[in-house]
Structure 1
Amino acid sequence: MQIPEGKKIYFASDNHLGAPSREASLPREKKFVAWLDEIKTDAAVIFLLGDLFDFWMEYKKVIPKGFTRTLGKLAELSDSGIPIHYFVGNHDLWMNGYFEEELNIPVYLEPKEFIINNKAFFIGHGDGLGPGDKGFKRMKKIFTNPFCKWLFRWLHPDIGVRIAQYLSVKNKLISGKEDITFLGEDKEWLVQYCKRKLQDKHRDYFVFGHRHLPLEIALNDTSKYINLGDWISYFTYGVFDGTNFELKTYKK
């Protein structure tokens, strides 16, 4: 992937639209849409690294109500020829073709490597990676189990979505103090994960979300771990201009 002259690649993650309520998240959604509208002038590619919604569940004929501004803007950008890549997060695990079919946006369930201007990027949401967090890893296996998803789809959407939204808002990723505190490199499990991956293959940038804390950490002289933060407290995003990667804050 080569970035045309004058263009940039943008990264964002963890909007959690709909939390703690649709009304409360509406100003954040409008701010995110304004950012998308602003970057469309020089965006070569946009990477969204998951948890765009606080809950997303696709039945065969039903998707969650709301988020029209966001979905409409993504459709506009995609239709205009700007490639958008989406990585599923732990709050929007149950995607099932809607983004691909309606928005022409590829969806990835696992981290993926991209070569951009001869720089190696390893990109993903970040959940369930690295050591520890065994409880979440067990929970994720249940939520992604085909039989469990089949059972859930038998619930009427009004019931299923309400249950899922309640559980999602109660999730520690929205309110937990540990998610906005830097733990130190030795205890940051995504840092440990990246360092292990470097033993197998060089990557220039590891870019993740999930952590809800903007972070830039040098892994060695040529590799860096980036966490994009969120659009709840920080409104941070990543920009790669073909040479340098930078974390920025959207302040409008």
Structure 2
Amino acid sequence: MWVNDYFTKEMGIIIVSDELIIERSGKKFFLHHGDGLGPGDRKYKILRKIFRNPLCQWLFALVPPRIGLGIANAWSRGSRAASSQEEVFMGEDNEWLATYAKEQLAREHYDYFVFGHRHLPLDLDLGSESRYINTGEWLKYNSYAVFDGKHLSLKYFEKE
């Protein structure tokens, strides 16, 4: 969101800001980072609106890069320190993204909901032949998701 078209121009990477709905091998996927979805997380939702605001982005672009990077790094360190407590499964009824996925299922069928914002690897059966996969944080949990053409599953790689 703050990089504008840098990744696209420099590396050919397309940034998807919201959900990406795709179909592969007859399976329908709802892909999203997961930030700001579902009930709760009000502070983050406000912060997300600020970060996505074009005026705020334009103002930040006016800040000299050395200062801007310093601010961004300090913010990132503070955010990591604040969220350094261990992520724990809160129960299916208390997981915001599982709640959000169930709300979407009431409107339209998806075989898989894939998110990452929660940073905790999760694989939950939502009923109606639908699953919620949260890829987790690969640096901490070594987790990733694989679709083999029939099923999406959460996998873990071994550290060397």
User: What is the rounded CA distance, in whole Å, between the counterparts of 1:220 and 1:124 in structure 2?
Assistant: 20
Structure 1 segments, 4+ long, off by >6 Å, are none
Per-residue deviation, 1:188: 0.3
* Alignment partner, residue 208 of structure 1: 115
* Alignment partner, residue 57 of structure 1: none
Aligned residues: 159
Alignment of 1:87-106 (within 5 A): 93-106=1-14
Alignment of 1:202-241 (within 5 A): 202-241=109-148
Q: Give 1 or 2: higher helix fraction.
A: 2
* Alignment partner, residue 152 of structure 2: 245
Which residue identity does 1:242 align to in structure 2? G
User: What is the rounded CA distance, in whole Å, between the counterparts of 2:124 and 2:16 in structure 1?
Assistant: 25
- 2:72 counterpart (148, 157, 164): 164
* Alignment partner, residue 133 of structure 1: 41
Structural RMSD (CA): 1.5
User: What is the rounded CA distance, in whole Å, between the counterparts of 1:119 and 1:163 in structure 2?
Assistant: 42
Which residue identity does 1:101 align to in structure 2? K
* Alignment partner, residue 120 of structure 1: 28
User: What is the rounded CA distance, in whole Å, between the counterparts of 2:145 and 2:61 in structure 1?
Assistant: 36
- 2:54 counterpart (146, 150, 168): 146
User: What is the rounded CA distance, in whole Å, between the counterparts of 2:76 and 2:91 in structure 1?
Assistant: 27
TM-score, normalised relative to structure 2: 0.93
- For the residue of structure 2 that corresponds to 1:242, the secondary structure is coil
Per-residue deviation, 1:213: 0.6
* Alignment partner, residue 53 of structure 1: none
- For the residue of structure 2 that corresponds to 1:126, the secondary structure is coil
User: What is the rounded CA distance, in whole Å, between the counterparts of 1:220 and 1:229 in structure 2?
Assistant: 22
* Alignment partner, residue 106 of structure 2: 199
User: What is the rounded CA distance, in whole Å, between the counterparts of 2:10 and 2:64 in structure 1?
Assistant: 23
User: What is the rounded CA distance, in whole Å, between the counterparts of 1:199 and 1:95 in structure 2?
Assistant: 35
Q: Which runs of 5+ in 2 are unaligned?
A: none
- For the residue of structure 2 that corresponds to 1:171, the secondary structure is helix
Per-residue deviation, 1:250: 1.7
Per-residue deviation, 1:232: 2.6
Provide Cα deviations, 1:127-181, integer angstroms capped at 9, x if missing partner: 0000111111111111111111111111110001111111112115874325x11
- For the residue of structure 2 that corresponds to 1:232, the secondary structure is helix
Of structures 1 and 2, the one with the larger relative CO (CA 8 A, separation 6+) is 1
User: What is the rounded CA distance, in whole Å, between the counterparts of 1:95 and 1:235 in structure 2?
Assistant: 27
